[in-house]
Chains A and B, each alone.
Chain A
Amino acid sequence: MSRQALSWGRLPAPEQRLIKLGSRFDALPTTTGSLLPYGLGRSYGDSCLNGGGALLGTRGLDRYIAFDRDSGVIEVEAGVSLGEIIELALPQGWFPAALPGTRFVTVGGAIANDVHGKNHHRAGSFGHQLLGFELLRSDGQVLHCSPTANAALFAATVGGLGLTGLIRRASLQLLRVPGPWIRGSSERFGSLAEFFALSAEAEAASAYTVAWIDSSATGANTGRGIFIRGNHAEGPASYAAPRGIRLPITPPLSLINPLTLAAFNALYYRRPAATARDALWHWQPFFHPLDAVLEWNRIYGPHGFYQYQCVVPMQDAETVIGEMLRRIAESKLGSFLVVLKTFGNMAARGMLSFPRPGATLAIDFPNRGAQTLALLDSLDAMTMAAGGAVYPAKDARMSAAAFRQYFPQWQAFAGHVDPRFSSSFWRRVTEYPQ
């Protein structure tokens, strides 16, 4: 039994067993209690946890199966990480078509959350590059699922939070790129209105767009930040990737407080490098600046942290997000990792997929107990009123009522849940009376 922090937010985890899988040819373990696949634990809350049951650790399913260097189709076991795919494919000129903010996620985890990257407006989410996968159900059936074969189960499993069975292997269409470089620019903006104008203008020409927001800014400065855009580009032939450093211990208290926060945000916003007209980034610092600090999540101290990521439809996005940012700045409970980005209009392939047209805001909140939860509830009220949704991969506390409104297909989805599979998240949003 294990009580380690098994999800990225490091909130106290329930008691559960971790069973490591080693071969994609094995049957599901015969244990009592429910099962839930578990990848690299980069989900923040309880959607990758299964209190009282077992987690099926998939990192032992880490074999490449096939890679066609001409077509860019790669087939891998479900525990292979996106970083490992890049290691193999990038030297041959291929890159994942959708890549989240860390390379330490497994293919299985990326499917189960239908993850998105900074290029959603162009490429859609992970499900769009997915050609198919193999699913093992607890009745022993092995099903090949694709947009055309077992299509309903495919739609349930993409974004299906690990509840429809174990994904054992998957095949992806990668994106042709000239090399490891991204060319683009970064610039300051003074308001949300400026952000939306920049975003609308940049999306036509740039594959990747994202903004960092100064969450301590108030009044007229609310919503100011730095806008970053880029495209794959040619660059120098050689590059030595920086070595990762690791936060060696969990500090006894959170290093994130209003003082460190205001200072960091002000410095970050004003630093000279925040504006660069013609910048050349290696893909790693461009996509994953935080991956260089392994286990940076420990900075929030022993009580862990919450992340809140919502999407709100475009017509009200400026008002609603402005209101949220004001509320967060007032509370002084927010953090420096505030990211704002727009999603494109491509319809997601999964029944429970989070990405949908609109603007998406993501913020970390150190866990300060009841006051943090109250703030997050008030953000939920705003998201619900706007007809938006909250991202289950980042959640540890949304109500069942909120979940059912955010994901109107949840009942159709429930029909595809494998009877032996469950998660702490799923029980929270379906079983508890509201």
Chain B
Amino acid sequence: MRRILIMGATSAIAEATAREFAALGDALFLVGRNPDRLTAIADDLRLRGAAQAETWVMDACELGAYPALLDAATQRLGGLDTALIAHGTLTDQVAAQASSELMLAEFQTNALSHMVLCTELGNRFEAQGHGCIAVISSVAGDRGRQSNYVYGSAKAAVTAFTSGLRQRLHPKGVHVLTVKPGFVDTPMTAAFRKGPLWAMPATVAKAIVKAVQKGKPVLYTPWFWWPIMQIIKNVPEAIFRKLKL
């Protein structure tokens, strides 16, 4: 049985992943902003087999509140050994390139909050000598594109940060997993036209749980994003800057 903290627990990918953990009988500590939705999800997860499903209401941008959050999770679950960091917003690129205030706010939600939480968790897990931190980054972090570079560069920060953290903590028995989903059909992307590259949250969730179980370092999900991103990363800048991606 894992004792799992889930940040952004009302997001579609987090909820689908929590269902996979629940079916394995794990104990869950769910964090999100909306108390009604958190309670509904916790009730559901208990019926799906979760050993425990606790809820905690907080805004992920309150960076000072993380130590208290981790204390509460550790206390309520009787310990903590896994964390899934899944909160985030899909930045409106046009608005964020027009306002540095908005750009900073998006960085706060999609990068800084993850980095603060990873720091707190990393130190605690290092001290206890075991644990797993799974962080949802994005294929968008592999290369900045004009259509979403504010979101993409925040995710790039998360990708680089978790890569370094993984190197640092690997010898200490702590597993850090960077998850890079492609397009996922969730309420966050409701306005987008869907094509064959789109995946369902349940598919992504299954891949995440498997990667946690296997101690995998980086997960592209669905898998076909790995070759796609190898190509995108390797297009020379001289050509890339002329593209309309």
Contacts and interface: CB of A to CB of B under 8 A. Distances in A.
Nearest to B190: A20
A368 B144 CA distance: 54
B40 interface: yes
Nearest to A19: B190
Contacts, number: 31
A25 to B, nearest CB: 5
Interface in A43-101: 60, 63-67, 77, 88
B43 interface: yes
Contacts of B48: 64, 88
Contacts of A19: 190
B36 A20 contact: no
B195 interface: no
Interface of A: 19-20, 22-25, 60, 63-67, 77, 88
Contact of B40 (A20, A63, A67, A88): A63
B34 A25 contact: yes
Contacts of B12: 22
Contacts of B37: 23, 25
Given A19-B190, A24-B40, 13 more contacts: A20-B187, A20-B190, A22-B12, A23-B40, A25-B36, A25-B40, A63-B41, A64-B47, A64-B48, A65-B40, A66-B47, A67-B47, A88-B48
Nearest to B186: A22
20 contacts: A19-B190, A20-B187, A22-B12, A23-B10, A23-B40, A24-B40, A25-B36, A25-B37, A60-B187, A63-B40, A64-B43, A64-B47, A64-B48, A65-B40, A65-B43, A65-B44, A66-B43, A67-B47, A77-B40, A88-B48
B187 A88 contact: no
A63 B44 contact: yes
Contacts of A77: 40
A64 B190 contact: no
A20 B10 CA distance: 16
Given A63-B40, A63-B41, A65-B40, A22 B187 contact: yes
Nearest to A88: B47
Contacts of A64: 43-44, 47-48
Interface string B19-55: 0000000000000001011001101100110000000
A65 B37 CA distance: 12
A67 B48 CA distance: 11
A77 B36 CA distance: 14
Contacts of B10: 23
A279 B37 CA distance: 46
Interface centre among A20, A22, A77 (most CB of B within 10 A): A22
Contacts of A66: 43, 47
| Shortest 9 CB-CB contacts between residues of A and residues of B | A63-B44, A64-B47, A22-B187, A25-B36, A64-B44, A23-B37, A63-B40, A67-B47, A65-B43
A24 B187 CA distance: 13
A66 B48 CA distance: 11
B19 to A, nearest CB: 10
A20 B48 CA distance: 23
A69 B37 CA distance: 24
Contacts of A24: 40
B109 to A, nearest CB: 19
Contacts of B43: 63-66
Contacts of A22: 12, 187
B240 to A, nearest CB: 34
A60 B36 CA distance: 16
A67 B44 CA distance: 10
Contacts of B187: 20, 22, 60
B139 to A, nearest CB: 23
B173 to A, nearest CB: 36
A65 B45 CA distance: 9
A424 to B, nearest CB: 23
